[in-house]
Structure formats: C-alpha cells, structure tokens
Amino acid sequence: MTTANTITSNEAQIRQLIAAQQRAICTKNVEQIMSRYATEVIIFDVKPPFQIQGKAAVRQMWEDCLPYFPDAFEIDTRDLTIAVNDTLAVAHWLFRLTGMEDHPAIQTWMRVTAVCQKNQGEWQILHEHLSVPFDPETSQAAFTLNP
C-alpha cells in the first residue's frame, strides 16, 4: 500500500532525477545523461527518427545532437507536474534552453512527458516524449517564448 510519506518521497526523488538529468544535459555529460535511462528506454523526439529505442540508440542520439547545443546554457523548467506511486511515475513539464539569445535552440518552449520506473530501488527514465506545439492551419511549428 502506498502511503502519503512514500508518495512524497518518491515525488521528491523524481524531481531530483529530472533536475540531475537537466544538469547533465547542460554540461553535455553523456555518461551522466545515460545513467538515468532504463535499458529498454524509448524516446519520442521532436526530430527524426521520432522514435529511439534502447540505450545504445539513445546514447548515439545524445552524442549526435549535443554538439549542436550552445556552448553554455541552462534549462528553464515550468509547470512540472508529477503523479507517482511505489514503482511508476509520470511527469510532464515545459522547458526551454536559456543562455545564448541568438542560438536557434533558445527560441521556443518545448513539452516533455516522462515515465519513470523504480528498478532495484532506483528511479530510471523508461520513456520520454518531447514535442513542439504546431499551428494546425499552417502545419508549422509554433515557436514562442510565451507558452
């Protein structure tokens, strides 16, 4: 049975997991980024191939895309919401990169949903889904600095 204390503790652990993952991304530390993913991770990304499955493919995705990130940046997060029990958590939030104002990655807020699973006492990211809103009239991404 899940108690209120367990839920509060698990929610705090998920918040820590997300914050640690964001710090690892900001420092472009692939080893730290990968340490938080489950072996059977699946990511639905904003760019092709849209679905990346397994740690080897996810590692390759990070190694390929991190060079395009600004040299120095932070991640601004808002509206983080978490639903959690003893073994599963679902979190969703908005984020954007901040730092170099003229870098293309700084131009929009993106949406993330993450599913985490407790494995041998440690929370791991089992699934991530990243998306950018779009304008249905034009089929163009809706880049905005004000969500």
Q: What is the CATH number of the domain that holds 71?
A: 3.10.450.50
Reading the block at residue 107, the tokens are 């131009």
pLDDT for position 145: 63
- When pLDDT is averaged across residues 101-130 and rounded to a whole number, the result is 88
Q: Has residue 146 been placed in a domain?
A: no
Residue 47 lies in a domain: yes
User: In this model, does residue 103 exceed pLDDT 80?
Assistant: no
C-alpha to C-alpha distances, 27 to 34, 51, 53, 93, nearest whole angstrom: 13, 24, 24, 21
Exposed / middle / buried, residue 75 (Cβ in 10 Å: 0-12, 13-18, 19+): middle
In angstroms, the CA 107 to CA 17 distance is 25
**pLDDT(2) > 60:** yes
Q: Identify whether 64 is part of a domain.
A: yes
Q: What is the pTM of this model?
A: 0.89
Residue 120 pLDDT > 90 = yes
- Total domains in the chain come to 1
Residue 88 lies in a domain: yes
Question: What residue numbers bound the domain in which 123 lies?
Answer: 4-141
At 92, give phi and psi (nearest 5°). Answer: -140, 150
Q: What is the pLDDT of residues 28-83, one digit of tens each?
A: 999 999 999 999 999 999 888 889 999 999 999 999 999 988 888 899 999 999 99
Mean pLDDT for the stretch of residues 96-103: 77
d(CA 131, CA 137): 18
Continuous segment of H or E residues that includes residue 90 = strand 88-98
135 assigned to some structural domain: yes
The secondary structure element, H or E, covering residue 32 is helix 30-34
Asked whether residue 11 is assigned to any structural domain, the reply reads: yes
Percentage of the chain surpassing pLDDT 90?
A: 66
pLDDT exceeds 90 at position 97: no
Domain membership flag for residue 147: no
- In this predicted structure, the answer to whether residue 86 has a pLDDT above a threshold of 70 is yes
Higher-scoring residue by pLDDT: 138, 142: 138
Q: How confident is the model at residue 104 (pLDDT cuts 50, 70, 90)?
A: low
- What six digits make up the tokens of 50? 């849209």
